Chain A
Amino acid sequence: MEATRGTRSRVMQSIQPLLGLVIIYLIFVVLSSTFRTFDTAKTILTQAVILGTLAAGPTIVLISGGLDLSIGSLFCLVAVCTGRMLIAGIPVGLVVLISLVVGAACGAFNGAIIVGTGIPAFIGTLGMMKTFRGLAEILGMNQDMSRFPESFQMIGKGYLIPISIMAVTFLLVYIFLSRTKIGFNCYAIGGSNEVSRLAGVPVKKYYIIYYTIGGLVAAISAIIIVARLNFTNSAFGVGMELNAIAATIIGGTSLSGGVGGIGRTVIGVLIITTLNAGLSHLGVSSSWQQISIGVVIILAVWLDVIQRRREAKA
């Protein structure tokens, strides 16, 4: 009896965001005649690429009980590095590789600072958010970073390639979280890092790995956007970290750690992009779009809180 209740509520928890997405989509389909086309759906997916790949990182970090405020700035730093290397004429393949390494290294540095000093993740990544932004500004100062080689622009062009990159990223993160030892232990560490430590999990080392992956994934996202827009500057990605965290939380990953998944983040990302696209089709200003996303964040987490309270009583 109790078990069925538990299973049912667990299923409900992952279905709820999906249900929300479907309802939001249907509302726009009814309200806007221009919305209900295949092209719009494709556009939504393409718009989801940047936020989606970016949000894959915070999903892992949040499940492990951490928080990463620096990825917006990290994203920008990688974008500027990519731009500088491209205009310096470095071969595209090498540029992509180095950019990914820069992203991962910045992520690892985040993790190392938090683990090494013992300061809260909020503070550590807040500090790195400022630091990365400053570095990006120094590197990007008085640089015209645009008109990149055709072969690089391919990465972000059209629908197929960017969406495929996003899909592969999600798939890899999914496999990481569900199939690998380090990913499996991510949930345990988020549930209780002391229980995990007592169980022999090298908690500190793993934290660094989670932040490293967060940085790597943010770098992928940065490369796509630089390729797509065919320019970059040091103002990229301001506030993106909060959008990524918002998408993760709307999807149903817990801010307190131990619960969540990449599938949920996909849905969270789609909710945000569908909302933005739909409201644009209806001619709603971007200010009102922000307000509606704000409402959705609060609503989504509130529903989760209600559910957990009910579960605790049961």
Chain B
Amino acid sequence: MRTEPSNVPLVEMKGIIKRFPGVLALDQVDFSLLPGEVHMLLGENGAGKSTLIKILSGAYTKDKGEIFVRGESVAIHSPVDSLQLGLSFIYQELNLVPQLDIARNMFLGMEPRALGFVKIKELYDKAAFYLNKFHMDLDPYAIVGTLSVTQQKLVEIARALIKDAQVLVLDEPTDVLEDRSRQNLFSVINELKRSHSVGFIYISHRYAEVHELGDRVTILRDGENEGTYRVAEITLDQIIERMIGRKIENQYPQIGAPQAQEALRVEDIRQGNKLNGISLNLRKGEIVSVTGLMGAGKTELGRAICGIDPCDAGEVYIEGKRINFSTPKRTIEAGLAYLAEDRKALGLILVHSIRDNFGLPSSARLSKLGFIDHRAITSECDQFMKKLDIKAPSMETKANQLSGGNQQKAVVAKWLGTQSKVLVFDEPTRGIDIRGKAEVYSLMNELLEQGIGILMLTSDYQEAVEMGHRTIVLYHGRIAKEFQRGEATEEDILRTAIGAEK
């Protein structure tokens, strides 16, 4: 069996509180990591996993609470502090220089030197020595860019370990991996915890991995610790139940019945291996939720429908009329609008005013003979600000001075200005606090009453089932299942999304 871990935890976090404007991200969270254990950290999106990890890494500072590393109280103010304490963080995206070989990546910034010159031979000898020690079958001369994703992850782990890291935090490391590669990674993890007593904090959305790899599991929900268990003591069903819990507040509006006419029809849309033939339809005043795991194809679908990324096949109809969806310009003219998840990077130009952001997609409609009608933009913007109750001192306020909810409203205003018939809403409430969410939902409801169709792409399963007239669950770029309103619980959706239910 497993070696008995020593008693002093590598990391202990006690009573951690973190508040963001308008939202309590972490409320009195306790967490500990023992030497030689893999501690799985689970929770829905927004439950507080990454906030907790960022506090440990020094990217965020906690409002209250204490952190102990190997029994000693520590203050972590920056990533440099956490590194010196032997904590290493391996994020989903790779942090290696692809043009350099493995050895140079492993020793980047700490190359063995003499008189300012790098000792090349020692560099490669050392790299080979460590790779061997960590049981990684890799060639120090191999260029990182030519490696598989798993191998790259291993290089990152090796780099962390030679910095004397005793704690490794892995954020969804297997999301992009194939089954065989995962086994490879798992065997290295198991070896390291056994022979080097390294502790792992492991964040994953693949709940099947909990029992495969984990020793203990901690479940977060809405910023609270729902419990820490030995994995042997808890079943997958119990984990899912605790993750979802019972949500108290009813923030969802009463949504009326859709109209009879069709607003949007998508037929057999295909794009590489991301979208494998998706067909769906949407009526006027109807809201359809599209959900699934990260990488299941939600965003890809939205962008493909709106002509942002090219696809291999498929047709899109707006109110029965086929549209040529080769460019965003065409689809916007046809009445489609894509409201991107990343409002700051793709939805708004932050250094520009609300008015200028509003006018951007409408500038073609609101100009005559190439001259722009500023008065029309101003008056329409004013109307929409009132209609959507955008809270800002004036329309000249820059977008970066708005709160998350008001930014989202500004994005909606901007697209309503184009007289859209169908809104494709990508993660409409991500990063918005509870009150802002309720406002966004009631705004969506008003749009539905006006006969606009909404395709909502969301990874919040509760939002999906509560808002959608129907909920479509994607799995690997295909429609796994479609549920009518009231037909499915969050749990059913989750099971379908992870492929647990066929």
Contacts and interface: CB of A to CB of B under 8 A. Distances in A.
Nearest to A3: B393
Contacts of A192: 345-346, 349
Interface string A238-260: 00000000000000000000110
Interface in A143-187: 179-185, 187
B94 interface: no
16 contacts: A2-B401, A3-B392, A6-B397, A6-B401, A180-B371, A181-B371, A184-B363, A184-B372, A191-B350, A195-B347, A195-B360, A198-B308, A200-B327, A200-B331, A200-B361, A202-B329
A182 B356 CA distance: 13
A136 interface: no
A275 interface: no
Interface stretch (B112-120, B272-280, B332-340, B427-435): B332-340
B314 interface: no
A199 B360 contact: yes
Given A197-B328, A202-B329, A258 B361 contact: no
A188 B356 CA distance: 8
Interface of B: 308, 327-329, 331-333, 338, 340, 345-352, 356, 359-361, 363-364, 367, 370-372, 374, 392-394, 396-398, 401, 414, 418
A258 B351 contact: yes
Interface in A181-228: 181-185, 187-188, 191-192, 194-202
Contacts of B333: 200
Interface residues of A, number: 27
Nearest to A183: B372
Contacts of A259: 351
SS class of chain B's interface: helix, strand, loop or mixed?
mixed
A7 interface: yes
A6 B351 CA distance: 11
A201 B372 contact: no
Contacts of B361: 199-200
A159 to B, nearest CB: 32
Given A7-B396, A187-B352, A259-B351, A194 B364 contact: no
Contacts of B401: 2-3, 6
B13 to A, nearest CB: 30
Contacts of B331: 200
B397 A3 contact: yes
Contacts of B352: 187-188, 191, 258
A183 B367 CA distance: 12
B305 to A, nearest CB: 13
Given A187-B352, A197-B308, 9 more contacts: A2-B397, A3-B393, A181-B370, A187-B356, A188-B360, A192-B345, A196-B360, A199-B361, A200-B364
A3 B401 CA distance: 9
B329 A182 contact: no
Nearest to B401: A2
B116 to A, nearest CB: 31
A3 B346 CA distance: 24
Interface in A120-145: none
B390 to A, nearest CB: 13
Contacts of A196: 360
A6 B400 CA distance: 11
B359 A184 contact: yes
Interface in A1-26: 2-4, 6-7
A264 to B, nearest CB: 16
A259 B353 CA distance: 12
A185 B348 CA distance: 14
Among B338, B352, B360, B401, the one with the most A-chain Cβ atoms within 10 Å of its Cβ is B360
Q: Which of B348, B350, B361 has the most CB of A within 10 A?
A: B361
Given A184-B372, A188-B352, A3 B394 contact: yes
Contacts of B414: 199
Contact of B349 (A3, A6, A191): A191
A1 to B, nearest CB: 8
A-B complex: 10 closest residue pairs judged by Cβ atoms = A3-B393, A191-B349, A199-B361, A200-B329, A200-B332, A181-B367, A199-B360, A200-B328, A184-B372, A181-B372
